[in-house]
């Protein structure tokens, strides 16, 4: 159970964070920090400062104000605690302090905890690169009338993402007023609207003479930020010392492996086949003419001009396969293993060199599951087992590689 201290616990976001954590089974709020500790009734103790907090914790989540950073960072450094900083409006000096602290502890720092907003930033980067100088870019952000900073940290996050993708070519124009407001080259216009209870809306427009592309994100309620912070917490707890953001979290999600399971597969092994290109070509041509697709072709090292040749097919035409093998060479021997499951695992990293593969194979051994044919090339692994082990193997794959 991960023990969490919420900084800014009695604020609107602090309360949502506590509510979101209470709905989980792997985290617990052990304390809160707030300038007004008695403002609300909580299921955990709330202190007016970290210095007064007597609870032990594994993680700090900060939904307070930039002015609290001077107390939060030293506490996190002293206790070697990972910290999630989910507040905007920091100065350049404060951002430098955060980066320096990240040399000693894991820190997750982002201008917006929404997963959707960060996907929006990725789309805006791609759009800026696609349009280049053809499009003029404007950002319009809308928030409730209580928001103190403008433009929003998210608007700057979007602008910075596009600027980074375009090698820093843009400068920012915050609103327009006066009699000489003609748009300048390489400009991103940023405009702030404040009113009512708008949770957050960010619209990025790519304007050309012929068309307008608009990429918009709208937050229905503030809990989306608490859910994002929870994802960030689980991510950060697994990371070494360093500074992280939603960019790294989203990238880590892409490292997940994809799994495809095909039933009713078969492995055909031709024993002591002639070790010649002509034989292999003749056999494959016969298969192709009969509409049979052989996959995962594997051969042994040659010995005295002979080799063992294995390949997989999806069962259903096995009798035809047998006839073609028998016709391909006189007195050939072969074996067909029917009723198998074929598993294809594809990831973004080389599976063969990962600790996850070692764990996967060890679990198969403990469960007495044999692999009948295995191929690992780069980031793809294909293997076969008896069909009776399908559910068992799928569960082990989900735990270790997927």
Catalytic position from the list 79, 147, 169, 223: 147
* Sign of torsion over alpha carbons 114, 140, 194, 183: positive
Using alpha carbons, select from 310, 312, 401 the residue that is nearest to residue 364. 401
**Residue 215 bridge partners (DSSP):** 204
CA angle 126-131-137, nearest 5°?
A: 90
Strand pairing category for 380-386 and 333-346: antiparallel
143 catalytic per annotation: yes
What is the DSSP secondary structure assignment for residue 221, as one 8-state letter? S
Catalytic position from the list 143, 202, 217, 272: 143
- Measure the CA–CA gap between 329 and 101, rounded to whole angstroms: 71
| Residue-wise DSSP of 3-33 | EEEEETTTSHHHHHHHHHHHT-SSEEEEEEE
247 catalytic per annotation: no
Torsion of CA 81, 82, 87, 90, to 10 degrees: 80
- Measure the CA–CA gap between 323 and 62, rounded to whole angstroms: 70
Contact (CB, 8 A) for 121 and 161: yes
- Measure the CA–CA gap between 165 and 118, rounded to whole angstroms: 14
Residues annotated as catalytic (active site), given as ranges: 143, 147
């Amino acid at each position: 159970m991960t023990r969490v201290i919420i900084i800014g616990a009695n604020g609107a976001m602090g309360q949502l964070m506590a509510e979101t954590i209470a709905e989980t089974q792997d985290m617990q709020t052990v304390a809160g920090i707030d300038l007004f500790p008695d403002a609300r009734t909580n299921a955990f103790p709330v202190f007016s400062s970290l210095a007064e907090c007597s609870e032990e914790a594994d993680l700090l989540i900060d939904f307070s104000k930039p002015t609290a950073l001077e107390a939060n960072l030293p506490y996190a450094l002293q206790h070697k605690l990972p910290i999630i900083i989910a507040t905007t409006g920091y100065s350049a000096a404060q951002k430098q302090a955060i980066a320096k602290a990240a040399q000693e502890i894991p820190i997750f720092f982002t201008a917006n905890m929404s997963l959707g907003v960060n996907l929006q930033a990725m789309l805006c980067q791609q759009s800026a690169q696609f349009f280049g100088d053809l499009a003029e870019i404007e950002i319009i952000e809308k928030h409730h009338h209580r928001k103190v900073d403008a433009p929003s940290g998210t608007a700057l996050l979007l602008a910075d993402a596009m600027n980074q993708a375009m090698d820093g070519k843009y400068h920012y124009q915050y609103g327009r007023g006066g009699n000489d407001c003609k748009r300048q080259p390489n400009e991103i216009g940023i405009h702030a609207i404040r009113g009512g209870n708008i949770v957050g809306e960010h619209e990025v427009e790519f304007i050309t003479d012929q068309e307008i592309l608009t990429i918009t994100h709208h937050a229905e309620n503030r809990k989306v930020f608490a859910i994002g912070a929870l994802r960030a917490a689980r991510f950060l707890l697994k990371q070494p010392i360093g500074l992280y953001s939603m960019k790294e979290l989203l990238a880590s999600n892409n490292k997940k492996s994809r799994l495809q399971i095909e039933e009713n597969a078969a492995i055909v092994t031709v024993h002591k086949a002639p070790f010649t290109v002509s034989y292999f070509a003749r056999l494959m041509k016969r298969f192709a003419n009969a509409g049979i697709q052989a996959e995962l072709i594997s051969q042994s090292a040659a010995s005295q001009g002979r080799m063992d040749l294995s390949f997989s097919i999806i069962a259903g035409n096995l009798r035809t396969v047998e006839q073609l093998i028998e016709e391909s060479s006189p007195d050939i021997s072969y074996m067909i293993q029917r009723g198998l499951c074929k598993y294809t695992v594809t990831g973004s990293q080389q599976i063969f060199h990962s600790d996850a593969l070692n764990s996967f194979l060890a679990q198969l051994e403990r469960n007495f599951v044999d692999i009948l044919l295995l191929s690992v090339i780069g980031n793809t692994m294909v293997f076969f087992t008896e069909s009776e082990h399908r559910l068992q193997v799928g569960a082990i794959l989900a735990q270790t590689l997927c």
